[in-house]
Amino acid sequence: MKLRARQLACTLLVSLALSACASSPQTRLLLDHPPDLPPVTELSAVPFFPQQEYHCGPAALAAIVNYRGIAVEADDIARLVYVPELKGSLQVEIVAATRQFDLLPVQLDGQLESLLRELAAGNPVFVLQNLAIEAYPVWHYEILIGYDLEQGHMILRSGVDRRITRTFALFEKTWQRADHWALVVVGTDSIPATVSVDAYLAAVIGMEQVGRLASAREAYATAVQRWPDSSLANSGLGNSSYALGDYGTAESAYRAALAIDPEKAALWNNLAYALARLGRREESLDAIGHALELDPDNAGLQDSRRELSN
Amino acid sequence: MRITQLIRGIPLAIAALTFAMPAQAGMVSTAQLQESLVVQESSDMNGRRAWIEDQLLQGGVSGADATARVAAMTDAEIAQIYQRIDEAPAGGSSFLLIALVVFAVLEITGYIDVIPNK
């Protein structure tokens, strides 16, 4: 057994030697061209929940949720994410559990520099790591709480360790083996420092889809403030307002979206429904008529017209 | 890992290609407006949810918790793990003894970081 293991190690070391040059490409870039950020950042206020065996997911999420001002224990989170047989927690469930606290789980873009920018902006980053190799993955959730550009390392809360450091180069390798998975968790009134409108809205749409409508609406309003030219942000504000029975706000949000994207038949459809709810039947029929002018063969729109004409 | 990810992307890509407004009256959801997030209309979401709930139960999650957990997932998330729970990374930081020797060598060379408390 020992021999076989050694042989395996040798094989791996050969392939390691071959790929060594390209193994931490982002780290090299980062150190060659340091970003315009404070040289050192550490978010010491991020609480620490030492993990019980295999419970790195619940422990890390508990720390993040508490950091956002919601008191919760790791055991409560384990009920939302932990799968005993897997001895771990799925990424999808981490994301889903975050929404249960009316917090937005926003995916980052996989850039090392984005992690630093989020930290500098005061946002701890939830990361997945594969601490071992692809053939023998050792998955581990951790929280990035800081970095040191001079020392060239990340600062993390990890497992049973309140504070560890890991060099950028090593961090990049273990992170890359987990497909650069990184989440920033924020309240519905704020937007992480580095995310695109699409990434932010994807998180808000998730909130809306699972029926946390008031939170979704708040987040859409936050998005509209930041990205007033986003048709989708305005549409989401319209849809969530409609679902909450606030048809007046829905109408104005749909009109804002249509000012950006006047050819989108589906938006005229939704506007027609909002107007119908407001008792403005004629305007409603005009709107659905307009939708059908744009997309005459659409069966859904034809059905909408029938329903709104009744 | 990369192949798995590729496979994972396929259903969503197909869904994006086959996107059409629902052939029924009513509001168009925000997810439908953002076409890339739409899961194929024809796919049996209830069946998929039931399958995942069953997997969670088999995985040792209690009945009420499993139901609530599946309800907390979006259709896109369901599609992401449907029939792939076993392949998906489950962060838990476990150790395989057999790999320890290999790990020790890789650790020393700065390629991995599995050995705690350095």
Residue ranges covered by each domain of chain A: 23-186, 214-309
- Residue A15: what pLDDT? 37
Query: Using CB atoms, which residue from B31, B92, B99 is nearest to A87?
Result: B92
The shortest C-alpha distance from A117 to chain B (Å) reads 24
- What is chain A written as a DSSP string? -HHHHHHHHHHHHHHHHHHGGGSSHHHHHHHHS--SS-SEEE-TTS---PPPTT-HHHHHHHHHHHHTT----HHHHHHHHEEGGGTEEEHHHHHHHHHTTT-EEEE--S-HHHHHHHHHTT--EEEEEE-S-SSS--EEEEEEEEEETTTTEEEEEETTEEEEEEEHHHHHHHHHTTTT-EEEEE-TT---TT--HHHHHHHHHHHHHTT-HHHHHHHHHHHHHH-TT-HHHHHHHHHHHHHTT-HHHHHHHHHHHHHH-TT-HHHHHHHHHHHHHTT-HHHHHHHHHHHHHHSTT-HHHHHHHHHHH-
- State ipTM: 0.85
How large is the average pLDDT for residues A42-46?
97
Question: Would residue B118 count as lying in a domain?
Answer: no
Number of domains in chain B: 1
Which chain A residues in 245-264 lie under 8 Å from chain B, judged by CB atoms?
264
- Residue A187: what pLDDT? 98
Which chain A residues in 166-185 lie under 8 Å from chain B, judged by CB atoms?
166-167, 169-170, 173-174, 177-179
This prediction has a pTM of 0.84
Cβ-based contacts of A240 with chain B (< 8 Å): 30
Q: Do A134 and B1 touch (CB under 8 A)?
A: yes
The matching CATH number, chosen from 3.30.70.1140, 3.90.70.10, 3.30.1240.10, 3.90.1150.10, for A23-186 is: 3.90.70.10
Q: Do B111 and A16 touch (CB under 8 A)?
A: yes
Question: Would residue B115 count as lying in a domain?
Answer: no
Q: Do A206 and B109 touch (CB under 8 A)?
A: no
Query: What CATH superfamily classification does A214-309 receive?
Result: Tetratricopeptide repeat domain (1.25.40.10)
- Residue A283: what pLDDT? 98
Q: Does A14 touch chain B (CB under 8 A)?
A: no
- Residue B103: what pLDDT? 63
pLDDT beyond 90 at B100: no
Structural domain range at position B86: 2-108
Cβ-based contacts of B101 with chain A (< 8 Å): 2, 5-6, 9
